[in-house]
Amino acid sequence: MNSSVSSTSTFCQLAAVEAFTAESALSVQRMVEEFRKRTGRIRGWAERYSRNSLPAAAWRVLSVPNISALGRSSREIADRLLNKRSCRSTGTAFGKYGEGYLRFSFANSLTNIEVALDRIRTFASRL
């Protein structure tokens, strides 16, 4: 509302101009390609451990994997994974039907994603 009453700030206007330059477009294309790699890695991992479908485009994914079989709440699993330095959110952040699911972000490097997936796999095998 503020922008429609007064005006968009100068730094926002300059950022918009920058977003439409050829150099910025190339950076965006590189990032899209990188996210495709990350999404592919998460997809491959999830297909082995989950029956759930994954989004075509996003940097977070819910329900990878369905952790109900581990016999603990999504909050407990999420907290324990955090202690293993593999961050995540609980599915219950999206309502009661999210219980039994975790939400993972792949807005990180592919190397860090691999490390996190290994930690999660090791953690789950020890429960």
Domain residue spans of the chain: 35-125
Q: Indicate the pLDDT class of residue 74, thresholds 50, 70 and 90.
A: confident
pLDDT digit string, tens, across residues 9-36: 888 888 888 877 777 777 888 888 888 8
Q: Please tell me the pTM assigned to this model.
A: 0.57
Whether domain 35-125 has CATH 1.20.1440.230: the reply is: no
Q: How far is CA 50 from CA 45, 67, 68, in A?
A: 9, 9, 11
60 has a pLDDT exceeding 70? no
pLDDT at 65: 60
Burial per residue of 85-110, b for 16 or more beta-carbon CB atoms within 10 angstroms, e otherwise: ebebbbbbeeeeebebbbbbbbeeee
More confident of the two residues 79 and 6 = 79
